[in-house]
Amino acid sequence: MIVANGFLRADGRKGIRNVVAVIYLVECAHHVARRVVDQAQDEDVHLLGFPGCYPNDYSLRMMKALATHPNVGGAVLVSLGCEGFNRDGLAAAITDSGRPVETIVIQEVGGTRSGITTALAAVERVKATMRERAQRVPMALSDLTIGAICGGSDGTSGIAANPAVGRAFDRLVDAGATCIFEETGEMIGCEDAMATRAVSPEVARNIDTAIRNAETYYLAMGHGSFSPGNADGGLSTLEEKSAGAYVKSGSRPISGVIRPTQAPDAPGLYLLDVVPDTAPKFGFPNISDNAEIVELMSCGAHLTLFTTGRGSVVGSAIAPVIKITGNAETYARMREDMDIDAGRIMQGEATLDQVGGDIFDLVLAVAAGEQSKSEMLGHREFILGYKTIDAVGPACHPGT
């Protein structure tokens, strides 16, 4: 099924958007980069960045993956000049991917005003090169990667919104797409059910290892993935929340377990494990919903399905976010931010399959260029922090 005219990249992947990423490499360069994006006055110029000064392998891998994401056509790097981030390594990775990139070092060009002016000119040059290189080609569902997360869950999430996403995932996987679900810290207790869906005993073991690692990490942190807002919204226990989070994966076989920055190399359904491998070092595994969206994007997600019971207004740089609520009151109150009303299921006005079909259809429409609500509203949130996550072996990331 042809779903869009995608932007062909040198590595053969295809994007549904053609974004210029303006990337600050330390918090000290954030202001200059933000002013560049603001003054560019172009909805396809997006702000990304890493605030830390001390280098971190995870953040470098993340930024390389994001700067060469299928939806990104080129980049401008904004460096203060004395930070620890490997700007030359990042620029080389972007160049090697066939994308134009320019680096602006604020300390070398004269300061804030000069940095903004210089970077704005670089954005225009990168955009011009992108226009010259742009190739639009047919994009099939087999070229598309879709992520899914929960945020602001309530009692309706596991009954309506998440299972409706699961039905959409089933249709997408059956049609040849790649689907990624995550939040292992919110699926503790579901490992046996997931293991029965694994394509091999080794993948089943990897699922079990990922969930046990999440449980160990959260116990060490002394804080589970359960908020006061979850309780106020009708969720009683972490177990109930876990079961609700799990059903967004649908029912199809699980092809593998991947880690941030690892793009699946074959269509199918994948579990993304974002919990660090080590004892707690940098804080909570996920500090916000947007951190999870960023990790899904680092694995190649062209867009993300975001279920929310209490309501959320976030979007994302680079990749569109589609928001689905199972709470009819939330949809009525926050209609300007919600894309799909899965509360119709709770009201007896629609079935899971019908809402799953609505989600499937909207995925195709957004892939073809229609803007999601968060895109229309200009939401371009982005966050990237320190973390310690090692790569996994090929058994977790099967090629078949």
CA-based nearest residue to 147, from 5, 291, 353: 291
- Checking if the pLDDT of 400 tops 50, the result is no
CA-based nearest residue to 154, from 89, 241, 276, 264: 241
pLDDT tens profile 243-283: 678 899 999 999 999 999 999 989 999 999 999 887 787 76
- Checking if the pLDDT of 240 tops 60, the result is no
Q: What is the pLDDT of residue 142?
A: 96
d(CA 315, CA 318): 10
Mean pLDDT check: name the lowest of 8-22, 166-180, 241-255, 293-307: 241-255
Mean pLDDT check: name the lowest of 229-238, 244-253, 298-307: 229-238
CA-based nearest residue to 359, from 329, 331, 321: 321
- Checking if the pLDDT of 199 tops 70, the result is yes
Residues 326-342 have a mean pLDDT of: 95
Q: What is the pLDDT of residue 70?
A: 98
d(CA 73, CA 223): 40
Q: What is the pLDDT of residue 139?
A: 97
pLDDT tens profile 78-112: 999 999 999 999 999 999 999 999 999 999 999 99
d(CA 387, CA 144): 28
DSSP symbols for 185-246: GG-TT-HHHHHTTBSSHHHHHHHHHHHHHHHHHHHHHT--S--HHHHHTT---HHHHHHHHH
- Checking if the pLDDT of 287 tops 90, the result is no
d(CA 233, CA 37): 37
Mean pLDDT check: name the lowest of 67-81, 135-149, 361-375, 378-392: 378-392
Give me the percent of the chain exceeding a pLDDT of 90: 76
Buried b (16+ CB within 10 A) or exposed e, 221-247: eeebbbeeebeebebeebebbbbbbbb
Q: What is the pLDDT of residue 285?
A: 67
pLDDT tens profile 218-232: 888 876 565 555 555
Q: What is the pLDDT of residue 239?
A: 54
d(CA 380, CA 382): 7
Give phi and psi for 150, each to the nearest 5.
-110, 155
- Checking if the pLDDT of 39 tops 70, the result is yes
Task: Tell me the average pLDDT of the chain.
Answer: 91
- Checking if the pLDDT of 238 tops 70, the result is no
Residues 179-183 have a mean pLDDT of: 94
Q: What is the pLDDT of residue 151?
A: 79
Confidence tier at 399 by pLDDT (50, 70, 90): very low
CB 255 within 8 Å of CB 269? yes
CA-based nearest residue to 58, from 301, 386, 383: 386
Q: What is the pLDDT of residue 226?
A: 52
C-alpha distances (whole Å) from 192 to each of 90, 252, 376, 380 are: 40, 15, 41, 37
Which helix (H) or strand (E) segment holds residue 14: the answer is strand 14-15
Any idea which residue has 């994308």 for tokens?
Answer: 99
Instruction: Quote the pTM value.
Output: 0.93
Specify the amino acid at residue 6.
G
- Checking if the pLDDT of 212 tops 50, the result is yes
Q: What is the pLDDT of residue 228?
A: 56
**Residue 38, SS3 per DSSP:** helix
Confidence tier at 11 by pLDDT (50, 70, 90): very high
Torsion sign (Cα): 84, 88, 91, 97: negative
- Checking if the pLDDT of 286 tops 70, the result is no
Q: How far is CA 323 from its chain centroid?
A: 13
**Residue 165, SS3 per DSSP:** helix
- Checking if the pLDDT of 152 tops 90, the result is no
Q: State the alpha helices, DSSP H only, in the chain.
A: 30-40, 57-67, 87-96, 106-109, 112-133, 162-174, 191-195, 201-221, 228-232, 238-246, 289-298, 328-333, 343-346, 352-367, 373-376
Q: At what angle do helices 30-40 and 112-133 cross, to 10 degrees?
A: 50
DSSP 247: G
21 vs 156: which has the higher pLDDT:
21
d(CA 152, CA 83): 35
d(CA 363, CA 163): 16
Confidence tier at 391 by pLDDT (50, 70, 90): low
d(CA 257, CA 251): 16
222 vs 383: which has the higher pLDDT:
383
